[in-house]
Amino acid sequence: MEHGRTLTRPLIAATTIFMDPVFTAIFMGLANRVLARYQADLLQMEGRRIVVEVSDLGKSLRLVIRRGRIAPTRAGPVDLRIAGNAKDLCRLALRLEDPDTLFFARRLVLEGETSVGLQLKNILDSIDLDWLAPVGYLPAPLGPRIRQAIDHAIRKTHADRRLHDLLDRALQP
């Protein structure tokens, strides 16, 4: 039991951090860099409001799609509500679990406009989740050689696979 509790604390801390306005802004910046290649798809969802509720923590993140980007928002009607516990939402975001499996097992709730949910699912499904992607988003002053060195070190030590396995174990239902 102690093992499960120690894995849950970092998950709660990470989820709480991402609900903080400062970290939300940082997260949005990184997310928009990743989503930049899907801007045309996001433009089709212009003005749509999405709320992600972390039910076991009593936290939520409200988003609006503006000019092909996601941005935090505070008020207004919601077009799509996605709710689940922290572990299941993390498993969904990290693609450790299929959204349909979570939905049909009643571990994920989707309410609102199904077309918005389907568009969002299609965008997320088309993202190539590469554990090394953040290396590509390092600031330009670090230069390509430093990025290549970091990329090489991660691949050589298999740190990306270890991180994936660690997260998968920590987020077991």
| The pLDDT value given to residue 2 | 41
pLDDT in tens, 150-173: 566 666 766 556 665 665 666 565
pLDDT in tens, 123-138: 887 876 554 455 455 5
| The pLDDT value given to residue 3 | 44
Encode the chain in three state secondary structure: CHHHHHHHHHHHHHHHHHHCHHHHHHHHHHHHHHHHHHHHHHHCCCCCEEEEEECCCCEEEEEEEECCEEEECCCCCCCEEEEECHHHHHHHHCCCCCHHHHHHCCCEEEEECHHHHHHHHHHHHHCCCCCCHHHHCCCHHHHHHHHHHHHHHHHHHCHHHHHHHHHHHHCCC
Does 8 or 49 have the greater pLDDT score?
49
pLDDT in tens, 94-103: 777 888 888 8
Closest CA to 170 of 15, 10, 56: 10
| The pLDDT value given to residue 5 | 45
| The pLDDT value given to residue 45 | 93
Q: How far is CA 31 from CA 63, 87, 136, 140, in A?
A: 12, 20, 13, 18
| The pLDDT value given to residue 133 | 52
**Helix 159-170 and helix 143-157: axis angle, to 10°?**
60
**C-alpha to C-alpha distance for 106 and 1, rounded to whole angstroms:** 25
pLDDT in tens, 59-99: 888 999 999 999 988 878 999 999 998 888 877 877 778 88
| The pLDDT value given to residue 91 | 78
